[in-house]
Amino acid sequence: MYPVARKLNLPLAGYKVSGYSFKQNVSSNNACKGVHLGEDARCKAGAKIKAIGAGEVVYCGIHPGAPRKGNWGGIIIIGHRQCKTKNDFYSLYGHLGKKYCNTGDKVKIGQTIALIGQSYTPNNGFWPTHLHFAIYLGPWKGAVLPGYYREGTLRTKLEYWRSPSNFIRNYNQIK
Ligand SMILES: [Zn+2]
């Protein structure tokens, strides 16, 4: 059972969506066609990434298949238990360089879990430096989750994903 997240914080100081937004259609980009399932926040290489709430690290590693444009480079996925509904959910952080946790670690809200990777390196997935941040409510099968939804591929379902900014805002309002 994952630790209960009583409150949630944003993962990055000065968090601002400045890149692909949640459910933005990026079908014009050859590297990653589909509907973007998270939010991208531009930041400097070395920016501290913090756990959004109490949880347990369920994935910590490099995107399988890297290096290749269109991947997340270093990834951390944290499992959390919702304090009200008791349902599980997952926070996902991509394009990470140095990581300060391992799979199986329990983390606290605000704990630094990683630093953003350098631009155009395997850690960053060969992108300009930014954080890819996503909230997933679907079943966890131990494998890296997709970053894009494409109809017909059966890789994920749109209803498993939430707007990260809205999810955190709403979570802290429901008592
Ligand atoms: Zn992204």
Give pLDDT, residue 58: 98
Q: Where are the domains of the chain?
A: 4-170
- Residue 160 DSSP label: G
Give pLDDT, residue 29: 62
Buried b or exposed e, range 75-114, using 16+ CB within 10 angstroms: bbbbbbbbbeeeebbbbbbbbbbebbbeeebebebebebb
Give pLDDT, residue 27: 75
Give pLDDT, residue 86: 95
Q: How far is the CA of 109 from the centre of ligand 1 (A)?
A: 22
Q: How far is the CA of 93 from the centre of ligand 1 (A)?
A: 9
Q: What is the pTM of this model?
A: 0.95
Average pLDDT per consecutive 10 residues, the chain (175 residues; last block may be shorter) = 97 95 82 86 97 98 77 95 96 97 98 95 88 97 90 91 97 80
Per-residue tokens: 34: 């589909």
Q: How far is the CA of 169 from the centre of ligand 1 (A)?
A: 20
Q: How far is the CA of 133 from the centre of ligand 1 (A)?
A: 7
Q: How far is the CA of 103 from the centre of ligand 1 (A)?
A: 22
Q: How far is the CA of 175 from the centre of ligand 1 (A)?
A: 30
Give pLDDT, residue 125: 85
Q: How far is the CA of 21 from the centre of ligand 1 (A)?
A: 8
| CATH number for the domain formed by residue range(s) 4-170 | 2.70.70.10
